Amino acid sequence: MLSLLLLQGLFSSLVHCSGQPWVVGQAVGTTSGLAKGRKSPTYPEVSEYLGIRFGQDTSAQNRFMPPKPYSGTGTMNATSFHILHIPYFDQAQCDLSRACPQVAPPGPPGAFPIPAVTSEDCLFINVWSKPQSGETRKAVVLYIFGGAFIGGDASASISNGAGLANNEDVIVVAPNYRVNVFGFPSAPGLTQKNPGLLDQRLAVEWTKKNIAAFGGDPDRITIYGGSAGGSSVDYYAYAWTKDPIVNGLIASSGTAMMTGPFSLTRPGDSNDGWYKLSASLGCGGAEAGERTIACAQTKSMKEIQAAIPIPSGTGVSMITGMFGPMVDNQTIFSDYYERAKAGNFIQRPMLVGSNHNESLLFTTLGNITDPKAATSLENGFNCGAAEAAKARSLLDVPVWRYHFANNPPNSTLGALHGMDVMYVFGDGVEGVSKLLQSSWATFVRDPKKGLSKIGWPKYDPKGNTLVRLAYNSVPVADFVPATMYDGTCPTSQI
């Protein structure tokens, strides 16, 4: 007998495929249950589904462990977020859907806003879709948020997918994943050291299984991330070569080959941060070894948060903290250059790039005044993108590399870290937002040939193939030699 769950999914798919009118926000059958959506308040033709559970509660014995998939047959009201006010971002608002727990690093008041509502029961995913028009099986972009692996959440206004879904005939998916010590515990004895990255993989698997019911094509999923999300995309490319699921990758301001202060991976035996936390919890330090894990699992979320060591002084370590991706030779590796040269990564099309003024945000927040340190920061993003693109170019994997050079009106700051993502998820109506939104969607719809069809050259380190976007705030793409911006990069290791 078919279960109620299978019947729900079958009914939803049949309604879509049979040509019956799609009702905006209609209930959709998923492996998580029946999800009731709503009309997007900004784009009333877009159906948005907010906070669909895809993973089980990660507290108690599930804390620090790989995620467990969730399945259900009930009905979910996926129609609303909690609203948080963020003064640092010019009175902007951040929409939250039970974000994973996190702790703000030192910095100016409000610089690192922490969601008002957090919970270890946080593995939720958001979907924005417009099935009633355009392609009947739409390309899908799954966005992985940034935040240096210490913070962030999938429901922030900066990455709301309604505009992109409305304007560009794609489906946008955005999952939560665990951050800070909850997602990257660096505890001794764990065979899976990066459960936060496994959360991301589980979200991709959920999307593969369920996106057809929202009008999506499960064979056309592109993963896209900015900052730590960009690094996550590249980490994914090396971790899941045997079962990629995705057919395209977009890495913005983050790769596995980042150098300098933002080389975010830690050695596999780097347990200092964990032992500081466990000792603070009363669970013992290095002398207690692996016993500290079971002890820490008995503590409350708030006790864990209060015990997270906070770096002091100046520099990027203030921002990145003591917990992040660790080498486990499953999701994170220590030999990315060797793997790149051997082609040991997902050989699917990639769009990779960085912003013109990546370092300013971090030199300001980290109180960094040394020009050499600022250059090292800039190189980490820009040169990492160059290496990721070169690795693919040498193996004839379709790859495009961009440099976002926009200078916003009434600003002398240039294209700051993360600014390209803001334009991709902007209104897309005119100017720079329309340029980036349409370009990204072109790649998502056809990763192999889409950008070539609009005149973008595939990346070649020796040619005029670096795609410069919005130079002098003109919303066009032009093509320049990579050496124009790579002059301070160290010698390539590929």
Q: Which segment, 78-82, 113-117, 151-155, 396-400, is predicted with the most confidence on average?
A: 396-400
In the residue annotation, 278 being an active-site residue is answered as: no
Name the pLDDT band for 110 (thresholds 50, 70, 90).
low
Of 12, 129, 159, 227, which residue is the catalytic one?
Answer: 227
CA–CA separation, 425 vs 244, rounded Å?
25
Q: Could you give the 3-state DSSP secondary structure of residue 260? A: helix
**Is pLDDT at 145 greater than 80 in this prediction?**
yes
Of 358, 376, 393, 439, which residue is the catalytic one?
Answer: 358
Of 432, 431, 456, the residue nearest 446 (C-alpha): 456
Q: What is the mean pLDDT of the chain?
A: 88
Tell me the average pLDDT across 215-240. Answer: 97
In the residue annotation, 227 being an active-site residue is answered as: yes
pLDDT of residue 87: 34
Of 16, 356, 403, 417, which residue is the catalytic one?
Answer: 417
Please give the CATH number for the structural domain made up of 4-484. Answer: 3.40.50.1820
Q: Please report where in the chains the tokens 């990579």 appear, as a residue.
A: 482
pLDDT of residue 212: 98
Q: Could you give the 3-state DSSP secondary structure of residue 39? A: strand
* Strand stretches in 130-277, DSSP E: 138-144, 171-175, 216-226, 248-252
CA–CA separation, 461 vs 486, rounded Å?
10
Of 384, 439, 350, 30, the residue nearest 208 (C-alpha): 30
**Is pLDDT at 232 greater than 80 in this prediction?**
yes
Tell me the average pLDDT across 259-266. Answer: 65
- Counting residues of the chain whose pLDDT is more than 90, the rounded percentage is 68
241 Cβ neighbours under 8 A, 6+ residues apart = 344, 345, 346
